[in-house]
Amino acid sequence: MPKYSPEEVAQAMRALRSRLVGYSLGEAEQLESKNAVILERGGLISRTDYVEATIVDTPEEWSWLGGVRGPLIVYGVGDAKKVQRLRDGVLGLTSAERTHALEALGETASEEPQSVLASTHGQAVDGSSQLIGDGDEWKAIGLALHDAIKGDFLLNLAGVRQCLAVTFNLGFREFIRAVFAPTEESARSLFGAVTPLPKQDECLEFLSGLQSEAQGLESLLQGYFERLGHLPLDGELSAGALVSRFLDGGGESLDIWGEVWRWADEGRSPLAQYHACQVFVYLPDQVPPTKFGELLTRLRWVLAPLGDGDSAHRRPQAWHLRHALARHYSKHLMCLFPGTSSEGVTALAWWVSERVATAFGHEEEVLRQVREKNLSEVSRIANVTWELMHPVLEPSLLRFATHDSGAMWGLALLAQLSDPMYFADNDTAPDDVQEVIRDAALDHFVSMSAIAEGSSVLPYTLALPLRDVIESAVEASTEEDYSKKLQVFLEAVGRMEAVESALEMLKEIARGEEMHDNFVVSGIRAHAYGAAPELAGGLWTLLSSSEWRARVLAGTSIECLALLFDALVEVQVRERGDWDIHFPHFLAMAAEAHADDDERRDSLFALTVFSSLSSGTKSAIRRVLTGPQRHKFAEDVHHWREQLRAVRGFSEWMDARLRDVLASLRLA
């Protein structure tokens, strides 16, 4: 082994230091605080050469950015103002900087506990004595706290609020990315800090305590909303049942109608509007006779469809954003943590969505911009990741309704309208109210009539039978055409409710109208998400028929084919065995058979890739890419190679799945 002189070693260390500092600096003039501490701990630099102290005078000259507590502090006054992140403060050059960062974090935890995770604050308290020291022992503790602050979802959300308050675009981009696409570590800390899906006995205990401690009806509802308002709960766990017990137990209210709506309107959350409607649907005797038309108008804003048209029937952007966020977060989190409780993950998604949406206020155009610009790209990645990986998840009514329904809360409310009075003509309501309510009944009935029940930790109004609601709508309707439509769907759903007859209907698709095929496949998909035990065998029998496969894969619309695949892959990831071995090859053979039909070839090859990823196999892809038609798939191969590369790094388990498939695509 060669020996080096002290001068040669010193020269090599200088070169190493220069390279490391260069890599860390990039285009910046100063090092990031974390990089500086790491390099200094390694004896490569002195931080005073690369990091500027933030507190130049006294720490008393400071304020929260935008007057909002969060991860950003402003030091100094006038032109000397400097913005510092709390996570950089805990790695500050001086003990004074680190001390003040700890004090600011403690103030946030004390005054606004909803803006910082208790685990982050606890970590700061436990390490505070070492962190404010002047030796080197504080650095390891400071680095760990830096990472905890950076990954604290609630602090990042507070950062979004701070940046919005002063239009700080640079900071906004940093924090909104951390909020919309939390890392695995950030999401894991959130899982451990909140309980969005308490057990039923825990809910009852909480509601009993809330009922005894509430100072009035509005405080009762606010306490309920903060703890359980992100879920459409049924029975004794609903807001209506709680208000009923409150009144029966001696709780006083001189104006129940006025108090409930005052609470809902002041909160300005659409979910509060849902719970207020639910109270009066549960307690119809508490609706003043002169206010029933107003109740119908309120119901309309929960039941109306989502959409971006100019129709007055469309719901406000606050609804749009919450639904989009919930679908995004549920898919993002399920791909990060496959195999976890899908009901628990979906409940957390709704809990997070409500808090994130609230941060953006109530202006329609602002909410539209957030949904269409800020959320759209990260949501696209989550959707692609979900489609590619389709993680194994237990059946969940809440998950299915969140992913499938464009308006889960409308469905949750509709399911409770089993009294014909809600569908009858009413002279005290605006002319269009009944039209919206009736159309909502039809729309929800078509899309969710065969909804999967699964097994739920908590009872949801989503599980209530829609058949009762539709029969009430038929009874109250004076329009013959509307009644006939409902009767036809009632008869069709009667057949779809039983798996055996649903499979018989599936056997005959691709012979008639596209609308009928979509209806049948949607019902099968609902059964698949509900994990009906007899479904897998029946589906495998159909798939094993080359005649059925050829007709369906060639004759259904691309939209219907996508719905059918989603149902089949949901079964595949649970059944494994023959499904993993043969299902991708069925799709590959169909893709080869339709190599001259660009649209169908593209779709079938995409489904081959999805199915292969779900099964962890690659032979079906290699079949296509080594077959006689391989030259016709060149564009498809390039497209999916780029798509898969784009989602690498999402999680370790996903990267392991992608590796073999990407290798197969590179061989093409």
**374 DSSP β-pair partners:** none
Structure confidence by residue, pLDDT tens digits, 109-130: 999 999 999 999 999 999 999 9
Measured distance CA(277)–CA(381) in Å, rounded: 35
State which H helix or E strand residue 268 sits in: none
Predicted pLDDT of residue 314: 64
Predicted pLDDT of residue 57: 46
Q: Using CA of residue 85, residue 88, residue 93, residue 99, what is the dihedral sign?
A: positive
Measured distance CA(301)–CA(319) in Å, rounded: 9
Specify the amino acid at residue 521.
Answer: V
What are the φ/ψ torsions at residue 107 (nearest 5 degrees)?
A: -65, -40
Measured distance CA(630)–CA(42) in Å, rounded: 54
209: closest CA among 245, 182, 240, 170? 245
Cβ 467 vs Cβ 490: under 8 Å? yes
Give rounded-to-5 percent helix, strand, coil for the chain. 70, 0, 25
Measured distance CA(392)–CA(301) in Å, rounded: 35
Look up residue 120 and give its two tokens.
């982050």
Strands 72-75 and 82-85: antiparallel
**72 DSSP β-pair partners:** 85
Q: Put residue 536 in one of left, alpha, beta given phi > 0 → left and psi -120 to 50 → alpha.
A: alpha
Task: Give me the helices (H) in 360-422, please.
Answer: 364-369, 375-389, 397-404, 408-414
608: closest CA among 593, 595, 618? 618
Measured distance CA(253)–CA(248) in Å, rounded: 11
What are the φ/ψ torsions at residue 117 (nearest 5 degrees)?
A: -70, 140
Look up residue 142 and give its two tokens.
């400071």
Look up residue 26 and give its two tokens.
């990039």
Predicted pLDDT of residue 448: 54
Measured distance CA(116)–CA(328) in Å, rounded: 23
Cβ 622 vs Cβ 360: under 8 Å? no
Measured distance CA(463)–CA(642) in Å, rounded: 41
Distances, alpha carbon 228 to alpha carbons 194, 384, 629, in Å = 12, 31, 56
Cβ 47 vs Cβ 36: under 8 Å? yes
Structure confidence by residue, pLDDT tens digits, 385-420: 888 888 888 888 888 889 876 678 988 999 899 898
Structure confidence by residue, pLDDT tens digits, 537-590: 999 999 999 999 999 999 999 999 999 999 999 999 989 999 999 999 999 999
Task: Give me the helices (H) in 112-150, please.
Answer: 118-131, 138-150
* Residue 4 CA to its chain's centroid (Å): 58
Specify the amino acid at residue 282.
Answer: Y
462: closest CA among 502, 523, 415? 415
Predicted pLDDT of residue 455: 60
Look up residue 558 and give its two tokens.
């691309």
Specify the amino acid at residue 210.
Answer: L
Measured distance CA(541)–CA(67) in Å, rounded: 64
User: Which of helix, strand or coil describes residue 390?
Assistant: coil
Cβ–Cβ contacts within 10 Å for residue 17, how many? 15
Triad 150, 152, 153: Cα angle to 5°: 120
* Residue 343 CA to its chain's centroid (Å): 12
Measured distance CA(484)–CA(25) in Å, rounded: 71
Distances, alpha carbon 456 to alpha carbons 193, 197, 460, 543, in Å = 22, 10, 8, 31
Specify the amino acid at residue 332.
Answer: H
Measured distance CA(170)–CA(581) in Å, rounded: 49
Residues of the chain with pLDDT under 50: 56-57, 309-310, 450, 452
Specify the amino acid at residue 524.
Answer: I
Predicted pLDDT of residue 510: 94
